[in-house]
Amino acid sequence: MRTAGILPEDAPDPRAEGVENLKLMPIPVMGLVAQPSLEDTDAVSPSYSGGDGGYSEMTASITYTLWRNPDDRSDPVNLAVLDEQTRRSIEEAPPWPQPPWLIEHVERMHYPQLWEAVRTTWTRDPSERSTVQSLLADHVNHILMNLYRQELWPGSNPWD
């Protein structure tokens, strides 16, 4: 679900749709073992591909919040390193009411996220692309391309 503009205060939480779509996965979605330093916030990103014959591949990625000091969440050591523009954008509240889930999401941006830390993939027709090695390489490349683009290609992008 993509949203733009001003959301009404009663806009539905898009995480609910993602969790509901997970029921379509024919295999269990795997996650990290529960531990004090990680918080599963239901930030699941489902992805599907297929055609007339139904789904050919389904993927679910789970993002976690990292707590460096889980015993004291107000400890500044828990804060993410943010650039000034990002910090300003999440600290300036708009003058209109927002849905509670959006306020929670913006607050969570103050803390480090393990973005798509775990990915579960189901493929209807196994191939060399669906081996563990290939899926892990795809996952790592996805993270690098989306989170570390500036570090990998300073001043440009990989498609230049």
Per-residue pLDDT of 43-67, as tens digits, reads 888 888 988 888 899 999 999 999 9
Whether 76 has a pLDDT exceeding 90, the answer reads yes
Q: What is the mean pLDDT of residues 8-26?
A: 86
Quickly list DSSP for 67-122. -SSTT-TTSGGGS----HHHHHHHHS--SS---HHHHHHHHHTTS-EEEEEEEEEE
| Residues of the chain above pLDDT 70, percent | 91
pLDDT in tens, 127-140: 998 899 999 999 99
State which amino acid sits at residue 7: L
Whether 27 has a pLDDT exceeding 90, the answer reads yes
How is the chain split into domains, by residue range? 32-125, 126-160
pLDDT computed for residue 38 by the predictor:
97
| Residues of the chain above pLDDT 90, percent | 55
